[in-house]
Amino acid sequence: MRTSGTEKPEESADEFNSDFGGRDTTHPHIVNIQPIRDPEDEPYVFRFELGPAILQQLLVKLESLAAQPLTDAVVKARHPGFYQLILDGKPVYIGKTSRTISARLKEHLNKLRGRIVPERMMCRFAYVEDPSLVDISEGALIRFFDQLDAAEWNHTGFGSKVTGYRRGQQRRSIWATEFPPDLKWPVTAGGSSEVKLSRIITSIAGQAPITLSIPRDFKAEFDRDHPAPLNLPKGTRPFQEWIVWVEERLAKGWRVQRTNTGWYIVK
């Protein structure tokens, strides 16, 4: 382009881009941002931190919502996003999931069984339409809500998935110690047809106030050592009484190994 002697030539696109760190020649649509390092310039630098901005908006959104019973949220929360658990009116846990929130809340509700009555628990949740937002660092999420004294349970092992036998021997849960299981929790098992002992144990485990399982490595051997079907009429009794009933029927060498995160039937 021609210019008069007094006119300033127009900047080319390349010249413009070079002022902002230069354009990547391999991917010309990407501008390489060069951080400003000079201490004299530092007071004037504006850095937009996406994570804190998202979390601040999340906080505003959650606080705008009325808390609802956890048992209701388990049914309603059918999309991915963030959720907050509230015990006796105090927020105690912040979580996120790329599954439906309902699926994650069901896991939490199972963990609360026999430890905290559901009526004490409330919940807020917020759906996220952009799945990438759920990928925000869990550490950043917890730190942000920790500053508000709203993430107490996040540090105690409450949010951990059900612990397997090997890991259960190595890990202790602060949360499980603070909220011990009610061993008198009522459990119903049995029926009209004969079933193997492993099936009865599975039925008890599905209602137990603590993780109860025959670890995968032991299942085949357990069934070999306990092949006879049992006739157990349907009945309800405290969990601890069921465990005594099971122990009385275990073959030689088998035992119930008790930890604060789970009870395992092993040899």
Report the alpha-carbon distance of residue 253 to residue 235 in Å, rounded.
Answer: 28
- Cα separation of 100 and 175, whole Å? 24
Q: How far apart are CA 122 and CA 91, in angstroms?
A: 9
Tokens in use for 127?
Answer: 């759906």
Q: Is the dihedral of CA 240, 246, 251, 256 positive or negative?
A: negative
What pLDDT, on the 0 to 100 scale, is given for residue 2? Answer: 44
Q: What is the pLDDT of residue 132?
A: 82
User: What is the pLDDT at residue 163?
Assistant: 58
Q: What are phi and psi of 118, to 5 degrees?
A: -55, -30
Looking at residue 122, its amino acid is: M
Cα separation of 216 and 214, whole Å?
6
Q: Which of 166, 193, 194, 184 is nearest to 244 (CA)?
A: 184
Question: CA angle 189-218-186, nearest 5°?
Answer: 20
**What is the C-alpha to C-alpha distance for residues 186 and 179, in angstroms, rounded to an integer?**
18
Q: How many whole angstroms separate alpha carbon 170 and alpha carbon 39?
A: 48
Q: Cα–Cα distance between 62 and 67 in angstroms, integer?
A: 9
Q: Token pair of 1, please?
A: 């382009």
Q: What is the pLDDT of residue 48?
A: 59
Give the pLDDT of the chain (267 residues) as one tens digit per residue.
444 444 444 444 444 344 434 444 555 544 456 777 788 877 777 665 667 788 999 999 999 999 999 999 999 999 999 999 999 999 999 999 999 999 999 999 999 999 999 999 999 999 998 888 888 888 999 999 999 999 999 999 898 866 566 654 545 689 999 999 999 999 999 999 999 999 999 999 999 999 999 999 999 999 999 999 999 999 999 999 999 999 999 999 999 999 877 899 999
Q: What is the pLDDT of residue 37?
A: 79
Compute φ and ψ for 55, nearest 5 degrees.
Answer: -65, -35
Q: In residues, how long is the chain?
A: 267
Report pLDDT for 62: 95
Q: Name the residue among 243, 236, 238, 237 with its Cα closest to residue 258.
A: 243
Per-residue pLDDT, 9: 44
Taking the CB of residue 219, how many other CB atoms lie within 10 A of it? 13
Residue with tokens 């107490």: 152
Domain 50-155 fold is GIY-YIG endonuclease (3.40.1440)
